[in-house]
Structure 1
Amino acid sequence: MATAQANPAPQEGEAADAPKRKGGKKLLLIALPVLLLAGGGGAAFFLGLIPGLGKAPPAAEGAPAAPDRRPVFVTLPEITANLNAPGRRAAFIRVKSQIEVQGAADAAALQAAMPRVVDLFTTYLRELRPEDLRGSAGTHRLREELIARANVAAAPARVSDVLFTEILVQ
């Protein structure tokens, strides 16, 4: 009845397709490891895992050296100020601190502006109430405000941090 064959004879164009499919597996077996190695090498480079790559060449003898950006700590004089306390009883704060800057040039600029820094710190401390300084959150807010004021006073030097050596509230 039906005389159609299940597998008809290949035509001219169909016979050429069969060998190309076998070559695709070989290409995949070669290309996949190459792509994996290239991707892993690129990731290692961008993550800085390959030592020696990405470093700047040493400076020539006549070229100016890069500025030293190591942290420098400048000690502030002890500051004692009365707090804005309600009532008849006076409250005082005594702060000993150090200011962290990046490099000797910023440290010199901060030393030159030290009277302005102490004035801004003292003025700010006099406006605080004793309850403003309670707990670690109060100390953190105090640090952030002093950093902002030190950056204003010592500009163009950049203050990285204010480190408290001692804080006493009475």
Structure 2
Amino acid sequence: MTDVTAQTAPPPKIGKKSTLLGLLGAVILGAGGFAVTYLGLIPLPGVGSKEDSHSVAPLPDVGFVALDPLTVSLGTSSTARHLRFAAQLETAQPYADEVRQMAPRILDVLNSYLRAVEVAQLEDPAMLSRLKAQMLRRIQIVTGEGRVTDLLISEFVLN
């Protein structure tokens, strides 16, 4: 049988000198890395220069055309139900006057569409985004492509 204690040698001891050198090297490298990044010698991704942080991109050249509020009677049931709808159209500024001139036709399209939608769909909050997309598409057909970019619903009340 072999002697296990005789075959394994004790691990060599690390002296205080090598530990101190390791700590000193870590401190020097850490301070050097901090200095390089603080002075901006190595640009970090996602961090702009100090001059760029104060510049703000200009707002797009948009205009808003307010539509007259609509009150739409819903269904033929004995209980009178109405939908109160008000919105604004987001348009490129050069087209704002053209879209404003088309407001009666836009209101006609919206009135016809909202009367055709079932009351259950109007009551469902999750359907509002779909209804909005449908109405926007109809408005874009009436006004022509590229004139109206968004429909902003400011009032949508069922009573």
Does TM, normalized by the shorter one, top 0.5? yes
Q: 1:32: which partner in 2?
A: none
Q: How does 1:152-167 map to 2 (within 5 A)?
A: 152-167=141-156
Are the counterparts in 2 of residues 73 and 99 from structure 1 also a CA contact under 8 Å? yes
* Deviation per residue, 1:29-83 (Å, 9 max, x gap): xxxxxxxxxxxxxxx9xxxx89xxxxxxxxxxxxxxxxx9512111100001112
Q: 1:107: which partner in 2?
A: 96
Are the counterparts in 2 of residues 109 and 157 from structure 1 also a CA contact under 8 Å? no
Q: Give the whole-Å Cα distance in 1 for the aligned partners of 2:125 and 2:79.
A: 24
Q: How does 1:43-54 map to 2 (within 5 A)?
A: none
Q: How does 1:91-102 map to 2 (within 5 A)?
A: 91-102=81-92
Q: How does 1:25-36 map to 2 (within 5 A)?
A: none
Q: Give the whole-Å Cα distance in 2 for the aligned partners of 1:70 and 1:142.
A: 27
Q: Give the whole-Å Cα distance in 2 for the aligned partners of 1:69 and 1:113.
A: 23
Are the counterparts in 2 of residues 110 and 157 from structure 1 also a CA contact under 8 Å? no
Are the counterparts in 2 of residues 101 and 158 from structure 1 also a CA contact under 8 Å? yes
Q: 1:117: which partner in 2?
A: 106
In structure 2, the gaps of 5 or more residues are 1-44, 50-58
* Deviation per residue, 1:92-117 (Å, 9 max, x gap): 10101111112x22211111111100
Q: Give the whole-Å Cα distance in 2 for the aligned partners of 1:92 and 1:146.
A: 18
Decide which moves more: 88-97 or 112-121: 88-97
Q: Give the whole-Å Cα distance in 1 for the aligned partners of 2:126 and 2:135.
A: 14
Q: TM-score, normalised by structure 1?
A: 0.55
In structure 1, the gaps of 5 or more residues are 1-43, 51-67
Q: How does 1:4-153 map to 2 (within 5 A)?
A: 70-84=61-75, 87-102=77-92, 104-153=93-142
1:134 Cα deviation from its structure 2 partner: 2.6
Are the counterparts in 2 of residues 117 and 150 from structure 1 also a CA contact under 8 Å? yes
Report percent identity of matched pairs: 25
Are the counterparts in 2 of residues 130 and 169 from structure 1 also a CA contact under 8 Å? no
Q: 1:29: which partner in 2?
A: none
1:142 Cα deviation from its structure 2 partner: 1.4
Name the count of aligned residue pairs: 112
Cα distance 1:114–1:156, how it changes in 2: closer, same or farther (>3 A)? Answer: same
